[in-house]
Amino acid sequence: MPFSKETLNFLVENRLNDSRSWFHEHNKEYRSLVLQPLQELVLSLTPAMLEIDGEFITEPRVDKTISRIWRDTRYTHDPSLYRENMWIIFKRGRMHTTEFPGIYFEITPDGFGYGCGFYHASTSYMNTLRKSILEGSPVFLTAQKAFSAQDIYQIEGDLFKRPRYREYPDSLREWLERRNISLNAESHDFELLFSPGLSEKLIANLKLLAPMCRFLLETALREQREGTALELLQRS
């Protein structure tokens, strides 16, 4: 079944009640209105995602590709028990690790978003990414060409407080001047969100993202290779 107005209403109401007892009383609604549409979306997107990376985790389960609805409150000042946004993600490795970029889709009461990147990329990763860009990596050049040819995704991520790459063209600086990176699209098209055609539209748009995602993935693999080589050198 597709997402519906009731999906968003449930997320808001659950967040406002913020009660374990309320959630357990309404667990059936959570499963039918929220979890089931997310699971079906994972299954619909899986073939296209495996074309981008055959090592993506695709199991349609919470903590595999689907976010938890409950929040981890151990490391935050916000004591809220539940979130009002939910997402799916396709990536290598465990869902909550940060070694690899992921392709995501997120629903919120305000709409939905999708894209590829990191919640928080490491300093080492970003250094490797800049190195690949400045070396003129063929994978980056392909990604840059694909990015320039579309108008769906924006490059996002915190910028350096002071520019470091003034001598380079803007087309490179929008990649180089960041401390974190992701390529994101946002939509408030609720008619699409609630329609059976959502997955088909997402597949078409996410295929446009594939060259950019492959560059981010190749950067992660390069970082690992160079880190391993350095470790072996230090041991010798």
Average pLDDT for runs of 10 along the chain of length 236: 94 95 96 97 97 95 95 78 95 81 96 92 94 97 97 96 95 96 97 96 95 95 79 54
At residue 98, the pLDDT reads 72
At residue 229, the pLDDT reads 56
Structure-block tokens of residue 30: 């959570």
Domains of the chain in sequence order: 5-235 (3.30.930)
Q: 138-148 and 198-235 helices cross at what angle (nearest 10)?
A: 160
What distance lies between CA 24 and its chain's CA centroid? Answer: 29
At residue 120, the pLDDT reads 83
CB 146 within 8 A of CB 208: yes
At residue 97, the pLDDT reads 72
Structure-block tokens of residue 35: 């979890």
Amino acid letter, 58:
T
At residue 74, the pLDDT reads 74
What is the pTM assigned to this prediction? 0.91
Q: What are residue 90's DSSP bridge partners?
A: 103
